[in-house]
Amino acid sequence: MKKENELKKSTMKKVQVPSGRPLGRIVCPNCGNDSDFVEVARNVIVSTIYVQNDDGSFTPNEGDSEVLGKVGLYCGQCDTDVSFFHTHLTEMIF
């Protein structure tokens, strides 16, 4: 039982919970922005399947992407790295 508890503690990921108002709202610690944020993914493979129309133009039919690198979160006003809030952002997308 003791080893099981130690394993759980070592594998649990700490999540930074924002303290903005209302509680849980992300606020940039540098400029106070609480509305605009940019997610940046590095090393991404984007695949798109196109269908050619009768007039020679193309229409995207299906797309897929795979992120191979780091994903960061930045303030949309001052570009401060707020990646420590990224897990919270992904949990709050509805």
Per-residue pLDDT of the chain (94 residues; tens, 9 = 90+): 555 555 555 555 555 656 555 567 899 999 999 999 999 999 999 999 999 999 999 999 999 999 999 999 999 999 999 999 998 888 888 8
Bridge partners of 86, per DSSP, are none
For residue 64, list its beta bridge partners.
47
* Model confidence, pTM: 0.65
Phi, psi dihedral angles at 15 (to 5 degrees): -115, 130
Distances (CA, A) of 55 to 21, 35, 52, 58, 59: 53, 43, 8, 9, 11
- Contact at 8 Å (CB) between 75 and 33? yes
Nearest Cα neighbor of 43 from 17, 65, 60 is 65
